[in-house]
Amino acid sequence: MKRPILTISAIAAAAGLALTGCSGAGSAQQDEDGPVTLSVSVWNYDQTPEFKALFDAFEAEHPDITIEPVDILADDYSDKVTTMLAGGDRTDVLTMKNVTDYARYANRGQLVDVGDVVDDIGADKLAGIEPFALDDTYYAAPYRQDFWLLYYNKAIFDAAGIEHPDNLTWDEYADIAAKLTSGDGDSKVYGTYNHYWRSVVQSIAAAQTGGDLISGDYGFMQDQYDLTLDLQEKGYALDYGTAKTQQISYRTMFETGKAAMMPMGTWYIAGIAQSIETGATDVDWGVAQMPQLESGEETVTFGSPTAFAVNKNSTHQAAAKTFLEFAASEAGAKAIAAIGVVPAYQSDDVTAAFTALPTDDLSVKAFQEPKDVVLEMPVSEYSSDVSSILDEEHDLIMVGESDVDDAITKMQDRVKNDVLVD
């Protein structure tokens, strides 16, 4: 059966009709004794195979509940969900793409307390659960726990006679990027691709220097910005302006052989596996450890859990909680582990189900090796406002409108004077 997928315009229209017929959003729960259709917000549904894997597995166990995805463009996801919630939207389950958005929605009272779901599963079994505890209450349950690795194209390395990138420093990473860059125009192959998210620079820097992205002190970002800018200025990485303006897909860059290396999260393992299975790419790929500041250091990287939450305005809250419990449990974990997504739920059986990773020694070691996975963005009442400032200044740095020193000073001033004030 082909699953119906709601667009934002359709869900907005439905929400508008629902709101005209009631005195207050979320004021009544519908009878859930019979079949229920549960709407779930997702991003890039066709390119994010974990959602279909979870939904199919859930419907097989709960035939009276049908999942209807509300599909949103990935780059617009946070803004769209924020707007939806502000307008009284009734999408039942909301995927929390990051903990910054989660903290914002929970602090605004827009999510349902799901502590009972977490208790039933066992918080000690869920990696990445800590950021979701707000005043000893959980408003979401994590189902995925990602961390960042270095993806690389084995064929490009082998053709150049360069050893696969085991335990690189950032300087070695830059040197290899220079050596693997070739061609020009449409046939150009870049030594690396750094996606336009600010975390590619800022969260790496914070994790590996001990910096705090909420602190208002951002000198720790200097070296990582210098390296990233140098790579694009020398043409060893696609320039930020082109990537962001044209909304370049990191999947396209890597799967078409346009980039020899690429820092990216573990969620992409499932994406590559899907593309290879469907014949969209035949890239010969592997993963290595995230480069480090100094040679011989234990691997420190960053990551973030992904969770499901129940909309306070949902009229199917009981069914929504049933879905959350399935997604975060061992059953849901096995469903996504089977396609290469790292689940939050931890068990030997889940580990055994994870088969999408390449079996070469370097890939296996890189996947198992991180000593420390630092949260991508700390959770606090200031996270959302600070994140907006860091996004804005990152954009100005990467397009050359601000030099790094000036932008770091502006970040610090804006955060300290506009956000971290009594």
pLDDT of residue 2: 58
Model confidence pTM above 0.85: no
Averaged pLDDT, 91-117: 93
Does residue 177 surpass a pLDDT of 90?
Answer: yes
Does residue 44 surpass a pLDDT of 80?
Answer: yes
Q: How far is CA 344 from CA 41, 143, 341, in A?
A: 19, 5, 10
Does residue 23 surpass a pLDDT of 60?
Answer: no
Distance of CA 184 to the CA centre of its chain: 31
Does residue 20 surpass a pLDDT of 60?
Answer: no
Could you tell me which residues come within 8 angstroms of residue 281 by beta carbon, excluding any fewer than 6 positions away? 255, 256, 272, 275
152-163 per-position pLDDT tens digit: 999 999 999 999
Residue 297's pLDDT band, with cuts at 50, 70 and 90, is: confident
List the one residue out of 40, 51, 104 whose CA is nearest residue 377. Answer: 104
Does residue 14 surpass a pLDDT of 70?
Answer: no
Q: Which residue has the higher pLDDT, 333 or 296?
A: 333
Q: Are 73 and 43 in contact (CB under 8 A)?
A: yes
Averaged pLDDT, 77-89: 94
pLDDT of residue 74: 87
**3 state SS of 301:** strand
Q: Which residue has the higher pLDDT, 53 or 14?
A: 53
199-258 per-position pLDDT tens digit: 999 999 999 999 999 999 999 999 999 999 999 999 999 999 999 999 999 999 999 999
> Which of 1-5, 138-142, 333-337, 411-415 is least confident?
1-5
Does residue 284 surpass a pLDDT of 70?
Answer: yes
pLDDT of residue 361: 94
Averaged pLDDT, 114-124: 95
pLDDT of residue 379: 84
Q: Which residue has the higher pLDDT, 332 or 11?
A: 332
pLDDT of residue 6: 55
Q: Which residue has the higher pLDDT, 200 or 354?
A: 200
Query: Strands 285-288 and 261-265: what pairing?
Result: unpaired
Q: Are 83 and 314 in contact (CB under 8 A)?
A: no
Does residue 365 surpass a pLDDT of 80?
Answer: yes
pLDDT of residue 13: 42
Q: Are 394 and 243 in contact (CB under 8 A)?
A: no
Q: What percent of the chain clears pLDDT 90, i.e. is strictly above it?
A: 76
**3 state SS of 272:** helix
pLDDT of residue 12: 44
Averaged pLDDT, 131-138: 91
pLDDT of residue 105: 93
Does residue 26 surpass a pLDDT of 90?
Answer: no
Average pLDDT, the chain: 90
List the one residue out of 288, 258, 234, 320 whose CA is nearest residue 30. Answer: 320
Does residue 24 surpass a pLDDT of 50?
Answer: no
